[in-house]
Structure formats: C-alpha cells, structure tokens
C-alpha cells in the first residue's frame, strides 16, 4: 500500500515514534530556523541531555492551552511581543522525585509528568525549570509555528501531543539556517521534517503566521 507521507516525513514520524530526536524546520520566509524535538512521553535524562548539548537553545515544552488550564499553569502575559512569538506559560517542576529541578534528568521527569494524563495540578511546583509553550487553539489551521507543528507531528506518530523542543544553534552562536543547518543535520544524524510538509499532509492552507 502506498504511504501517504513523503519519505523524509515518514522517516521523521518513525524516528519520533521510537523515541529519537527529530529536527522540525520552519518556513524559509518565517523564522527559517529549526527546533530539535522529542516526544515528551519518551523523555529520559540521556535524551534531554543530548538535546540541550547538541541543539544549545532553550528547552521548552509544546502543549495545548487546554491541558495547561487543567493543570492550573498560567500563561505569562505578553508585553510588546515579537512577531511569531509563542505563548509562554510559567515554568514548572514536578513536585516529587527530583532535586533542584534543573538537571537533564530532573527536567525529563517534569516533561514526562506533563505528558502523563493522570497528572494533576498539585503534582507541579512553580516557578520551575521547564517552560511550557501553549499551542494556538486552532493548531496549524490557526498558527503554523514550531509549537503547533511539533504537536501535529506527534499526533501523526500516534503519540500524546506534548513535545519537548530546543532551538538549534550553529557553532558560531547564531541560529542554524540554510547550509549551516544542513551541515548540522548531517553531522548529528537527525531526521528532519518541516512545518510546511505537515501542513500539506493535513490538507491545510499555508498561512503567514
């Protein structure tokens, strides 16, 4: 039977499903950047440590606004937001089983707890060390950013829509784009997917946000 996904997207879906990190690329005319993503339910200290070591950006967590409301985790009020700015929530730690909350292993525990449907508001403390990002309510139909793309990719992989993300920086400290990003992907052996690919397979109209 013919696969409805293009080969590059299929490789990324399969990698995400088995717990590997995947690079999610933005449109060239938007931010033109990439995030390293990991399904939250597969988060381990080793995998989170690899993410923050090789990608070197800020570790965040894509999650639905509805789930944040259930967990009583409030959004940070925006103040002169930049174009394409995501909706940050206050950072949290899981309340049990960690030390300071900042180690890769502690953050992995918090990430897994945020993905656990049995978790409740009292299971988290604030402020903490994991920064949730609320996806737009309409998902990719409303905003076609890394946050919404990561959740859509997780759903295509049959996973819970909660995803750890870390922006990919080039060795010179600038964001990895173009040729630098292509070199980075080859060097680290990371499967890429792109938000426009996911938009197309979902049958959505490309947006400008």
Q: Is residue 207 part of a domain?
A: no
Distance separating alpha carbons of residues 156 and 152, to the nearest angstrom: 6
Q: In this model, does residue 115 exceed pLDDT 70?
A: yes
Q: Is residue 61 part of a domain?
A: yes
Residues 6 or more apart in contact with residue 158 via CB below 8 angstroms: 17
At 43, list the tokens.
């988060």
Q: Is residue 136 part of a domain?
A: yes
pLDDT for the residue numbered 2: 62
pLDDT for the residue numbered 112: 98
Q: Is residue 2 part of a domain?
A: no
Q: In this model, does residue 27 exceed pLDDT 90?
A: no
Q: In this model, does residue 55 exceed pLDDT 90?
A: yes
pTM as predicted? 0.93
Q: How many distinct structural domains can be found in the chain?
A: 1
**How many alpha carbons lie under 13 Å from residue 36 in its C-beta half-sphere?**
30
Taking only the tens place, the pLDDT of each residue in 57-114 is: 999 999 999 999 999 999 999 886 776 778 999 999 999 999 999 999 999 999 999 9
In 3D, which of 44, 54, 29 has the Cα closest to residue 169?
54
Q: Is residue 1 part of a domain?
A: no
Which residue bears the tokens 């309510």? 137
Distance separating alpha carbons of residues 142 and 175, to the nearest angstrom: 25
Q: Is residue 114 part of a domain?
A: yes
* Sign (positive or negative) of CA dihedral 115, 15, 204, 176: positive
Distance separating alpha carbons of residues 192 and 77, to the nearest angstrom: 32
Q: Is residue 65 part of a domain?
A: yes
Q: Which of 79-83, 85-89, 116-120, 172-176 has the lowest mean pLDDT?
A: 79-83
Distance separating alpha carbons of residues 45 and 151, to the nearest angstrom: 21
User: What is the average pLDDT value for the chain, to the nearest integer?
Assistant: 93
**Per-residue confidence at 193, pLDDT binned at 50, 70, 90?**
very high
Residue 24, domain CATH? 3.90.870.10
Q: Is residue 141 part of a domain?
A: yes
Q: Residue 195 sits in which domain range?
A: 7-201
- Segment (H or E) for 129: strand 124-135
pLDDT for the residue numbered 208: 61
Distance separating alpha carbons of residues 44 and 47, to the nearest angstrom: 5
């Amino acid at each position: 039977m013919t696969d409805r996904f293009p080969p590059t997207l299929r490789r990324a879906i399969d990698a995400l499903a088995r717990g590997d990190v995947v690079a999610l690329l933005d449109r060239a005319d938007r931010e033109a950047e990439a995030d390293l993503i990991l399904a939250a339910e597969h988060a381990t200290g080793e995998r989170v440590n690899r993410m923050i070591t090789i990608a070197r950006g800020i570790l965040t967590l894509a999650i639905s606004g509805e789930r944040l409301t259930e967990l009583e985790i409030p959004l940070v009020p925006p103040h002169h937001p930049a174009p394409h700015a995501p909706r940050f929530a206050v950072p949290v730690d899981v309340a049990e089983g960690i030390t300071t909350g900042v180690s890769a292993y502690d953050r992995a525990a918090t990430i897994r707890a945020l993905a656990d449907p049995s978790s409740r508001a009292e299971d988290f403390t604030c402020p903490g060390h994991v920064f949730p990002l609320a996806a737009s309510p309409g998902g990719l139909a409303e905003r076609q950013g890394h946050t919404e793309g990561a959740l859509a990719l997780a759903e295509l992989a049959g996973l819970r829509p909660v995803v750890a993300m870390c922006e990919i920086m080039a060795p010179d400290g600038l964001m990895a784009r173009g040729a630098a990003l292509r070199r980075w992907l080859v060097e680290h052996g990371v499967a890429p997917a792109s938000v426009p690919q996911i938009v197309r397979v979902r049958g959505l109209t490309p947006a400008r946000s």
